[in-house]
Structure 1
Amino acid sequence: MEGTRIVVVDDDREICELLDEYLSKSGYQVATVCDGRALLAHIEQHGYPDLVLLDVMLPGDDGFTLCQKIRRSSDVPIIMLTAVSDETDQIIGLEIGADDYIAKPFSPRQLMARIKALLRRAQVSEDKSADPLPKRIAFGDWRLDTLSHRMTHQQSGEEHELSGSDFALLMLFLSRANEVLDRDTISFATRGREALPFERGIDVQLSRLRQRLGDSAKYPNYIKTLRGNGYLLSVPVSFEY
């Protein structure tokens, strides 16, 4: 935890002060900024932090726009801060590359649990990167470059660059092809925590990955749903080192 940097992006001064105090007491290095321009200036000066807490409603560029800008160059974990009653905000945030979301008003302890979970996931990914990782993985009609996180259709040439959580999800399926994965397993791989009851995030992420693969939930060629059990990648996988 020592040296772990978190940037809070929120135009509510009181929330920034409370989070700064709470997270600092927990041992994190915290910076607070009030809008997108200040966030991008902070990143340019200090580099990307270890995690970003990003409010949706901001002056100038909103949280969705900033999330997209960050995702063009970084896989830094992003937690979106959303309106309590607006599930649309939560779904949009996940669709454009956020790793998790928490609704306002939130418990600081709940937020801390989400932060620790995502940082654990990032640490596990970093530790695994020390192991020999295949340079490319072929599955069905697709080929994944594990260094650039870019997957390419071998016939059409269509390409998709994956966010950190999407890459983690696809790697989970590829490393455990033809094995049934339940929702908790998927949530641990992408968010570092168990799935919450009635959580939509996993469904959104699976839907997004299926869409990029040209797959469908009703007639899947890649990811099959086994009702009551989980999900399964049903195509051959080969690794190139």
Structure 2
Amino acid sequence: MDVRSVILMVGLSIALPIITLGASVHHEQYGEEPLDAMSDEITVEDSDEDREVEQNRRFVGYKSLLNGALYTHWGSNTCSEGSHLVYSGFVGGTWYTVKGGAAQYLCMPMEPEYSEYIPKTQSNSILQSSELQTPSKAIPAFHSQYQNTPVCALCQACGRSAQFMFPARLTCPSGWNKEYDGYLMTAKYDHQRTEYICMDKQPEVMEDTSKNVGGALLYFVETNTKTDVPDTYVGEKELTCSVCSK
């Protein structure tokens, strides 16, 4: 047996108890076949080459449980069951009327780390907090958070390598796991362009932020039925969304 095979077998003997536990949890949550069969011993009759191929295959399977796609849970500082919280923070972006800066919203950590800096404001890009622009006629869960700054969380979907935000859908395609659902939000039609994000249907916000200070503003999204959208879309209805992983 060569050195590489010895190292691989030692590594598997250390990782196997941890991975077996992860496989059990994964099976309970998602109803997939457990990976217990992968821990069966390789038969003596197998050649050294076959044994090495099988060991490598198993190691890849074990490792996949420890990895996972990243997604942002907008409007929540927690992650769905089966996902790992990387960090939580608040939603930030560029002031809604400026031409410069960036288009996307960011999930900013609560405790920033700085390196070297120059005192006083420079002629640089300025990051703002965001605000939910959801006044009295809005959906109740959002109206109560009017002009507040929503929170967010960066999550890792353990054992799932892909994630996608499905617009206008509350459910996920067959074989996909739903992380959360909510409403599409972005900048207002006559403001500077940003991006579409999926805000949780029960948005959580930072405390003491309803001061109407402006910033990176967030609005619901509706369809213009005067364009060539399908007849299944209804104007003046807020579009939903879901974030799914697989």
Taking structure 1 as the reference length, the TM-score comes to: 0.22
Kindly indicate which of the two structures has a greater share of residues assigned to strand: 2
Higher RCO (C-alpha 8 Å, min separation 6)? 2
TM-score, length basis structure 2: 0.22
More helix by share: 1
